[in-house]
Amino acid sequence: MILASIMPNSPARKPRPWGSLIVFLIFLMLLAFLNVGRWLDKEDPLQKAAAIAVLSGRMPDRALEAARLYNQGYARQVWLSYSVEPGATLQKYSVAYIGEETYDRQILIHQGVPESAIHVLDPAIVNTADEMRTFGQALLKEKDRRLIIVTSKVHTRRAAALWKRLASKDGEAIVRGVSDDPFDSMHWWRNTQDALDVVREVLGLLNAWAGLPLQPAKP
């Protein structure tokens, strides 16, 4: 008591907010991590359109989904793209290669899409950005300037972003994911396929938002 009475009163130390801020930032990062799969899965409401465009990759799922939409009457055409690779490289070694568009065409026909309704568009593509430009140019020739784009669920947000940047002037795109896509948006970190897809899509979106400074490597 005596010491307390003769010691000068020291100012109360103010609590530092850094600890609470760090905890809050960690919480936000964890929340973003857990929800990025659902965020990437961004589909548009279905409407009738001039054509259904199938983005390359993930055979046969995307072609099967395009056939479902065609048979439900959402469009009278199905558009496919094609790539010269890896066919051009394999040809150097006398290895025959049938392009993905050939298999997609066969799947569509098997599912009831008339061959006359299937169109493989020029020019050859390298990536999704090329596909958007190709489909956009084809849409300019249609009376109905609306297109349904079919891709995987994890790819829908990036596909929409690329269309907006590269082809929105050509018409409206309705981006749809495959109905029975196995992508687990709630628990995407549980298997390597979903995890790799999410990482690739996030990096691809950053590239799209930055104006596509990163271009595909030349074969």
Report pLDDT digits (tens) over 129-151. Answer: 999 999 999 999 999 999 999 99
Residue-wise over 172-185: b if at least 16 C-beta within 10 A, else e? bbbbbbbeebebeb
Tokens of 191: 């298997």
- Given a cut of 50, whether residue 214 has pLDDT beyond it is yes
Tokens of 60: 């046969």
Instruction: List CB contacts of 113: < 8 A, sequence separation 6 or more.
Output: 66, 67, 70, 71, 78
* % helix, strand, coil for the chain, step of 5: 50, 10, 40
* Predicted pLDDT of residue 18: 76
* Alpha helices, DSSP H, located in the chain: 2-6, 18-40, 61-71, 87-91, 100-110, 128-139, 156-166, 192-209
Q: Which residues lie across from 174 on neighbouring strands? A: 148
Residue 89 vs residue 109, higher pLDDT: 109
* Predicted pLDDT of residue 3: 43
- Per-residue pLDDT of 164-208, as tens digits, reads 999 999 999 999 999 999 999 999 999 999 999 999 999 999 999
User: What is the C-alpha to C-alpha distance for residues 173 and 187, in angstroms, rounded to an integer?
Assistant: 28
Q: Of 5-9, 106-110, 215-219, where does mean pLDDT reach its minimum?
A: 5-9
**Cα 79 from chain centre:** 18
Quickly state the pLDDT bin for 25 (edges 50, 70, 90).
confident
Considering the four listed CATH numbers 1.10.110, 3.20.20, 3.40.50, 1.10.287, the one that applies to the domain covering 41-179+199-209 is 3.40.50
pTM listed for this prediction: 0.87
**What is the residue extent of each domain of the chain?**
41-179+199-209
* Predicted pLDDT of residue 33: 78
Mean pLDDT of 118-133: 96
Do 48 and 147 meet the contact criterion of CB atoms below 8 Å apart?
A: no
Q: Is 173 helix (H, G, I), strand (E, B) or coil?
A: strand
